[in-house]
Structure 1
Amino acid sequence: MARISLTPRRSLLFRAVEWYSKRAYGKVIDPARALAHNPRVLWSDLRFEQSLAKWKELDSDLKALAVMAAAASIGCSWCMDFGHWESRQRGMDVRKLRDVPVWRESDVYTPLERDVMEYAEAMTANPPEVGDESAARLLSALGEAAFVELTAMVAVENLRSRMNAALGLTSQGFKDHCDIPAGEGTPAR
């Protein structure tokens, strides 16, 4: 249960966010509802997220795995739910999304994907536990621009996940709407 009301004052900004959120995601996302209690925080978050969407140096699947590994480390069910849905919308393999919390035991990831998730977890630890060898492998595989973007995205996800977890935001059921139920066309995986 959220620790803050998810029914903020319906300011002009929040009404615009409601409209966009319903159009883009099918419902108003709870982080927007929570942040709308402080319009300056909401506005800053919106501008920041718009800026992040323009970052394109890092492969989108690697970025998604890094973000979800950080969210899983923190325990943000809202971020895991939304991240799964968002990545499925882009066509990412459902097995890779499903196995993020247990990536070390899964056989669906490439060595680079494993390095990315290990790095995300190491950055998320408190204090961070990033090793020189891990960073060097990623820097060599990705190049400097993508490595910087990876590092920034993990830091951003730490902000998102820690804020959502602290506000008590939990899954909104996005993941439930990703896959075709068994018996309706393609078998569920």
Structure 2
Amino acid sequence: MTGTPARSISTRISTVLPRTLTNRAMAAYSRWRYGEVLDPLVAVGHHGKVTRTYALTELGVSGWKALDPGLKSLAIMAASVSIGCTWCVDFGYWEAQHGHVDPVKLHDVPVWRTSDRFTDLERDVLAFAEAETATPPAVDDALAARLTGALGAEAFTELVAIVAVENLRSRINSAMGLSAQGFSDRCEVPLGGPLAEVGEA
């Protein structure tokens, strides 16, 4: 995470980072967990407090378990696609391969309105993620009521929060100029179809 990375990273800030304990610790954990240093850590690594807050936020989010992981993955993907964060789409596709979502469904997230692969509940989750991500947010009472009834108050609250968290991630990554890091290339089913088109846009 310090010095110039071997792989070129498309960012709007230097990738040569201060040799701080925080940066070294985050780099070591990232290599252990993901096999390489995540580009967002490089992008925010110039500000120690931002990096630590980012890490603590992600640690807290990892403990949220009320919402079905498959629905959560779809909501995250819908938010990142709406914002146009190719890094988030790439990483989200890879992360969701751990038994959470059928890869074909992930391919169809950008065209979920015309795809026949989603249940009614999944369609509501996708619609909600897009509506919450819109500027200004466009969530309506009927959709919120359906989701609260189907999921329960705790899981609905988690849905609202995870979409907000993905907005934070996607907007930081997009503003920093990050692009796909190649995580989806490691999946059994390569990133393609509608998501590939989003990545090339």
Instruction: Give your verdict on TM over 0.5.
Output: yes
**Residue segments in structure 1 that go unaligned for 5+ positions in a row:** 182-189
One of 172, 177, 183 as aligned partner of 2:186: 177
- Structure 1's consecutive aligned runs of 4 or more residues displaced over 2 angstroms after TM superposition are 89-92
TM-score, normalised via structure 2 length: 0.87
CA deviation after TM superposition for structure 1 residue 10, in Å: 2.4
Aligned to 1:27: 36
Deviations 1:45-94 (A, max 9, x none): 10111001001100011011001101100000000000000011345311
Residue from 72, 83, 86 that aligns with 1:77: 86
Moved more, 105-114 or 85-94: 85-94
**What RMSD over aligned residues (CA atoms) do the two structures have, in Å?**
1.2
Match of 1:146 among 133, 155, 176: 155
Q: SS of the counterpart of 1:99?
A: helix
Deviations 1:103-125 (A, max 9, x none): 11211111101100000000011
Q: How many residues end up aligned between the 2 structures? A: 181
Cα separation, 1, equivalents of 2:27 and 2:158? 29
Amino acid at match of 1:25: Y
Superposed, which structure 2 residues align to 1:22-101 within 5 Å? 22-90=31-99, 92-101=101-110
Q: CA deviation at 1:180?
A: 6.2
* Equivalent of 1:13 in 17, 22, 31: 22
Structure 2: where are the runs of 5+ without partners? Answer: 1-9, 191-201
Given the superposition, is the C-alpha separation of residues 46 and 111 from structure 1 closer, same or farther in structure 2, using an over 3 Å criterion? Answer: same
